[in-house]
Structures are given as C-alpha cells and as structure tokens.
C-alpha cells in the first residue's frame, strides 16, 4: 500500500511539471504581446510617414501615377491614409428598428406602403381590417 508521504510526493512531482508548463506558456504569450505592441507602434509611424509623403507627392503627380511608378496598388496607397485616421471621418452607425431593419429603411418602407394606398384609405385601419378578415 502507498503511504501518504509517497502520494504527496507524486502529486507534487505532477504539479511541478504543470506549473512549469503554465509558466512557460504565460511567458511566451507575454513576450509575443510585448513584441506585437512594439510592431504596431512602428507600423503606425510608418503609416504616418507614408501618408505625409503621399500627400506631398500629390502636388506633383496623381495617385494613379504614383501607383504606376512605385508598383504599389492605388487602393493600397489610398488605404494608408485611412488607417492613420487622417483621410476622412468615420460614418455614424444607423439605428435599427425592433425588426432588425435600419430605421431609415423602415421609415422608407412605411412611406412607400402609405403612398401606394389610395388617398381616401387609412393604412392603419385597413391593415387591422385585413388581418381580421
């Protein structure tokens, strides 16, 4: 039969391996996270520099010419300015109705439905009458 001390020693040995594996995993993730933060900051600096240079180049050539000369797609050159947030403001989000349609589309639908009815009808009472029939 196994004694309590032997059981304790086995559990501690198993726990040591698990503790080491957890510590290694956490240390690797922390290192990658730190490296990512550094690279993201560096990329932001590069994007800002590119944006400034593209804006300066606009005084002497079009974006299409710049794309042709550099071999960088025009869409990519345009996208650099958007990533830095200097190009144009973001669109505001639309609200949604209870049915999931955008509120603008829902209002447009209601106006379109009301306009399709003859002028002497009430869309609300006719809808109730149609549902009860």
Asked whether the CA dihedral 20, 21, 23, 27 is positive or negative, the reply is: positive
DSSP H helical ranges for the chain: 4-57, 63-70, 74-84, 103-116, 123-132
pTM for the model stands at 0.48
Average pLDDT over residues 42-69: 94
How does pLDDT run across 57-100, given as a tens digit for each residue? Answer: 999 999 999 999 999 999 999 988 676 554 444 556 666 656 66
Asked whether the CA dihedral 40, 46, 52, 57 is positive or negative, the reply is: negative
């Amino acid at each position: 039969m196994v004694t309590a001390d032997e059981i304790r020693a086995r559990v501690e040995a198993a726990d040591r391996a698990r503790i080491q594996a957890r510590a290694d995993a956490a240390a690797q993730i922390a290192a990658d996270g730190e490296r990512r933060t550094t690279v993201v900051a560096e990329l932001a600096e590069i994007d800002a520099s590119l944006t400034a240079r593209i804006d300066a180049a606009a005084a002497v050539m079009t974006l299409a010419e710049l794309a042709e000369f550099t071999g960088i797609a025009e869409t990519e050159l345009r996208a650099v300015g958007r990533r830095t947030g200097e190009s144009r403001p973001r669109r505001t989000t639309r609200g949604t109705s209870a049915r999931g349609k955008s509120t603008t589309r829902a209002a447009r639908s209601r106006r379109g439905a009301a306009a399709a009815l003859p002028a002497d009808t009430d869309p609300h009472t006719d809808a109730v009458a149609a549902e009860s029939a």
